[in-house]
Structure 1
Amino acid sequence: MSFLVKPLGGEVSVHMKAPVEEVWALVSDVTRIGEFSPETFEAEWTHGATGPAVGARFRGHVRRNGVGPVYWTPCTVTACVPDEVFEFGVGLEGNPLNTWGYRMAPENGGTRVTEYFRLTPAWYMRGYWLVLGRLRGRTNERGMRTTLERMKAVLEGVSES
C-alpha cells in the first residue's frame, strides 16, 4: 500500500530577495536559530564541531509550541552542500526521530528557500503521525513559515514592528 511508504512530513517555501550564499550562511549557522524559530530558542555546536559539515553535531534548546517543558535535543548534520541544502537529524546519532532541512535555489534574482521535516518511518512514528499528524503537521508548517519569514526579514533588511 502506498501510504506505508509515503513520507511523514511537510514543507514550506518562501522567496527571499537575497543571494543564495547569504541564505546558506544564515540557515547553516545553527547558533542563530533562536532569532528565528518559535520553538528552538538556542543551539550550540557540540563534540568539537564548529560549523556545518556532514556528521557535525549540535544540540538545540527547545520549548514545544512555546509552552511546556524546556529540553535539549541532540542533532547531527546529515546533508551539507553549500548554497543548496542543509539538513540534520534530531535524536541520537544514527537513529534520528525526525529530520529537518533547508533547500535553496536561485530564483528571480533571489533565492527560493524550502524548509522541510520528515519523521523517521518507524512503526511508532507512523502511529504518532496517524493520531497526531494533521495537528502536528499544521503546527510545524506554521513554525516553518514563521522561521522563514523572520529569516527573510533579516536578509532583506526589513525590521519587524
Structure 2
Amino acid sequence: MPLPRIPRHPEPSATGAVTIAASAEAAYGIISDPPVMTGLAEEAHGARWLGSAGAAAVGARFVGHNRRGRLRRWSTVCTVTDAEPGRRFAFEVTATPLRIPISRWEYTIEPAAGGGPGCRVTETSYLRAPVWFLPVAIAVTGVLNRPDANTTNIARTLDRLKARLESAPSPAAAAD
C-alpha cells in the first residue's frame, strides 16, 4: 500500500471549522488553556505549563501528553507562537528529547458569518517534521495517514468545544 501524500508546512495538513453560539473571548479562554483543551481533544490527554508559565503568552511552553488506543503514548514540548485573546492561539510542537520539529497548531476565532451571534473557530494543523523522522512518528503514534487522522480528530475536538461552550451558562444568565 503506497503512503499517502503528506502536505508539508506551510501548506496545512488538516483543518476544520465550527460556528459556536458563544463569545470569541469564551472560545479563546478554553482554546488557549492546554490543560483544559486536552479534555476535549482526541489524542491529547494531558498538558501542563512549563517553568513560570501559567497562561497563554508568546514564548510560553507546555508539555503535552498524547495517546492513541491503549498502548501508544508519547509526550511533546509545545511553544506558544501566537496569543491574541479572542482572535488567535497557535503553538509549535517538538518531539522530546531531541527537540525535533513536529507540527504547528493554529486556532483562529472570527465573528460568526453574517454578523450573527457567536463566533467561528477554525483549527488547523501543519506538519513540520523532517521527512527522515516520519517513520519514527508512524511507529510511535501508529498513524500512517496523519492528515486524515488529524482531520477526523479536529472535527471531534471542535464538536466537543461547541458542545461545552453552548452548554455553559452565559455571563448574563449567571449574573441573574
Shorter-chain TM-score category?
A: 0.7 to 0.9
Partner residue in 1 for 2:89: 86
In structure 1, give the amino acid aligned to 2:82: A
| Residue among 39, 50, 65 paired with 2:54 | 50
| Residue among 50, 74, 79 paired with 1:76 | 79
In structure 2, give the amino acid aligned to 1:102: Y
| Residue among 139, 159, 163 paired with 1:149 | 159
Which has the larger share of strand? 1
Moved over 3 A (4+): 3-6, 92-95, 121-128
1:12 aligns with 2:22: no
* Whole-angstrom CA distance in 2 between matches of 1:29 and 1:69: 24
Normalised TM-score (structure 2): 0.76
* Whole-angstrom CA distance in 2 between matches of 1:62 and 1:109: 34
Q: 1:5 to 1:31 in 2, by over 3 A?
A: closer
In structure 2, give the amino acid aligned to 1:27: I
User: How many residues were matched structurally?
Assistant: 153
Deviation readout 1:87-128 (Å, 9 max, x if unpaired): 000106986321012100011211100011001274447899
Q: 1:157 to 1:136 in 2, by over 3 A?
A: same
Rg larger in 1 or in 2?
2
Q: 1:72 to 1:4 in 2, by over 3 A?
A: closer
Deviates more, 1:11-20 or 1:89-98: 89-98
* Whole-angstrom CA distance in 2 between matches of 1:37 and 1:77: 18
Partner residue in 2 for 1:100: 105
Percent identity between the aligned chains? 32
* Whole-angstrom CA distance in 1 between matches of 2:9 and 2:108: 22
1:140 aligns with 2:140: no
Normalised TM-score (structure 1): 0.82
Report the alpha carbon displacement of residue 33 of structure 1 after superposing the two structures with TM: 2.1
Report the alpha carbon displacement of residue 47 of structure 1 after superposing the two structures with TM: 1.7
